[in-house]
Structure 1
Amino acid sequence: MSVSEWTRLLFIFPLLKPVTTSPHLLLPSPNPTIHTSLASPSFTTPSPTAPLISTQDEQCPLSITPPSLVVRYGDPVSANCSIMGTDFIYIGWEVPELIDASIEGDMMVPFLVWTVKTMKEWSVRPTCFRLNDHSGQCVTQLDLTVYKPPDSVSISYVNHIGPELEAQQYSLQCQVQDVAPVENLTVTFYRGQKALAPPQSSNRVQKTPVSETFFLNLTSSIEDDGAVYWCEAKLDLGPDGPQPPPVVKSNHLTATVYFGPQFLCPEKLQVREGDELTCEVRGNPSPSVTWHRDGQVVVPPTHSNGEHAGKYTVSAQGALGKFDFTLDVEVLTAKGTSNDCGIFLVAVLIQLIYWL
């Protein structure tokens, strides 16, 4: 019989009294490995090919320490199964066939320690069981979670390259590569240090590593120009998991938003004599601006006078097209301003004389 056919290993050694059973018994079977500890030689061992039936209840005297474990893939793991009292024939572990698994026990204390030097199985439910000659068997399972943080996390646009356009909708995607278990994964999108939405999670239930993509829709605005987007993936494995939970952050994605042109001046514009005639026009990229008066292209004066009063048309060519803005310019002369002040003072003096 070849070595590959021996798939179940039974470790037997005395706990409470000497026994004559061979300390190592190999039994061929396709079922998982069973490691046992014998307490009495008078019991006829049942066929190890029979599956264990989960009959765990409050009366089962078995105890696993710790009752739950969270281990990173490739790290060592160990758990102790013990039993209260002496009312048992043997106790044992039933686990998948792991190359470097080992069992340790004490001759005077009824317990078995299951150890794996390098955990390389994803779906493992080690089971400790007890058999006796009057109440049958009872079992208890170790709650074991094997995890792996993401290999990488990246953020990018969905089907878009280059600058955004103002008021257009875009989608961001956060791609998480090779993480397990994915059901414990949450992903959050950020703009700067502000979260853009509640954390997202996957509805997949899979113990082996998978890749998952999360999406966020947004409508671009002027305020988004120069904003930095990124996402983070957090593997929250509960109180038994690593603290703080493993977090992997993505690259930074800097947004460029094309907008404008925008005219930042009133339709009725007053300028003082000698001042420059201006109308600020914003946009990204910077728009091309042309001034017209009476259908002719003009250069706005840098020193205004009364001749510059009238209507102007400011034309701006930007990323979103060409737009025109009409200005009605009034030039305030220094003389007109002085006369206005004099008239006001005379009116005030007349009112004072009337009161007296």
Structure 2
Amino acid sequence: KNKPVFTPSRLVVKYGDPASVICTCQQECLNEIFNIEHSVGKVTINRTTISWNIDNFTDWTARLQCYYNKAAENVSDPDVQCCTVLPLTVYKPPDKVSISFANHTGPLIEAHPYTLQCTVHNVAPVEKVKAIFYRGHSVVGQVQVNNSYGGKPMTHSYTLDVIPHKGEDGAAYWCAAELVLGPEGPQPPPVVISQNMTTTVPKHPGLITINEGNQLKLDCSSDGKPSPSYKWTLPSGSLHRSSILTFESAAAEHEGKYTCTVSNGYWNFTEEFHVKVHGEFYIFTCPLFSDVVVK
């Protein structure tokens, strides 16, 4: 009842910026001890109002409390203190935002689960960050933390599980870190975005049909750092170690399953090609009638 009132009622300030608030004393605190308890900045008292300001806010643990002490009605009783603590948020936009797959580099395997990781560097407060994951222009998920981390700048990784599907080869994933600071904060909210991460999802060709005598070319090329190595297992059981397998003239002996294993020491995946070779068709003509010569 009759607590002192701050204006604004909540302070959101960027680290290093100036800031100011006013505390107004209500009727009961007139002629009583009235002040703002502060660890930084300076105050100016003008009867029933106190102004607090600072030119360069650099204290992550600052606390502002406006109070008045009212003498007890009985001399033997302690004085009564009435106070209001100002909700205070000091924020700092991230230095940068980066995106990656957790514990994975290189091509993705269709229909396998992966974890996207959006790392927000040197941001405060972490609990006010909303990490938004995108694939192209589409939002695929949003993540926030539930715990408090003390308000000081730190680096935090937000994760989201995704499963790549057909048609996502070449898709760009990226993420944005948005500081959600409420109506008292800057509008629109500060946002820092990551770079694009282009994904490779090798297409499974299924059954490959080819006419006998035509060139058969199977391509298992993949990107990666370091560059990957390749191992082909042919239907005959023989091995080849190139990214592209070529037969200039397909024959029945080339039918069957071809398995390509790609690896660079950090990741590996296997792709299968099933080849069916159609034989050549020949058209024979036979005359129905012959010319008969009678002498």
Same fold (TM over 0.5): yes
> Secondary structure of the residue that 2:127 maps to in structure 1?
helix
In the alignment, what sits opposite 2:32? 89
Confirm or deny that 1:142 pairs with 2:99: no
Confirm or deny that 1:288 pairs with 2:245: yes
In the alignment, what sits opposite 2:71? 133
Query: Deviation string for 1:7-49 (max 9, x for gaps)?
Result: xxxxxxxxxxxxxxxxxxxxxxxxxxxxxxxxxxxxxxxxxxx
CA RMSD of aligned residues (A): 3.2
In the alignment, what sits opposite 1:75? 17
Deviation at 1:116, TM superposition (A): 1.4
Say which of 55, 60, 63 aligns to 2:5. Answer: 63
Aligned residues between the structures: 246
- Please identify, of 250-259 and 235-244, the stretch whose mean Cα deviation from structure 2 is larger: 250-259
Contact in 2 for aligned 1:149/1:179 (Cα 8 Å): yes
**CA distance in structure 2 between the partners assigned to 1:170 and 1:68 by the alignment:** 41
Query: Deviation string for 1:221-271 (max 9, x for gaps)?
Result: 4422111111111110111111111111111111122344443559xx9xx
In the alignment, what sits opposite 1:121? 59
1:1-356 matches, within 5 Å, as: 58-60=1-3, 62-85=4-27, 87-96=30-39, 98=40, 101-106=41-46, 109-134=47-72, 136-197=80-141, 199-205=142-148, 206-263=150-207, 288-290=245-247, 292-295=250-253, 313=255, 318=260, 320-321=270-271, 323-328=273-278
> Secondary structure of the residue that 1:241 maps to in structure 2?
coil
> Secondary structure of the residue that 1:229 maps to in structure 2?
strand
Distance change in 2, residues 1:315/1:130 (3 Å): closer
Scaled by the length of structure 2, the TM-score of the pair is 0.71
> Secondary structure of the residue that 1:251 maps to in structure 2?
coil
Query: Which is helix-richer, 1 or 2?
Result: 1
Structure 1 alignment gaps of length 5 or more: 1-57, 270-275, 298-312, 336-356
Contact in 2 for aligned 1:167/1:221 (Cα 8 Å): yes
* AA partner of residue 288 (structure 1): L
Deviation at 1:125, TM superposition (A): 2.8
- Structure having the higher Rg: 1
Distance change in 2, residues 1:125/1:321 (3 Å): closer
> Secondary structure of the residue that 1:258 maps to in structure 2?
coil
Distance change in 2, residues 1:89/1:292 (3 Å): closer
Distance change in 2, residues 1:183/1:257 (3 Å): same
Contact in 1 for aligned 2:214/2:250 (Cα 8 Å): no
In the alignment, what sits opposite 1:43? none
Deviation at 1:212, TM superposition (A): 0.8
Scaled by the length of structure 1, the TM-score of the pair is 0.60
Question: Identity of paired residues, percent?
Answer: 33
* AA partner of residue 154 (structure 1): S
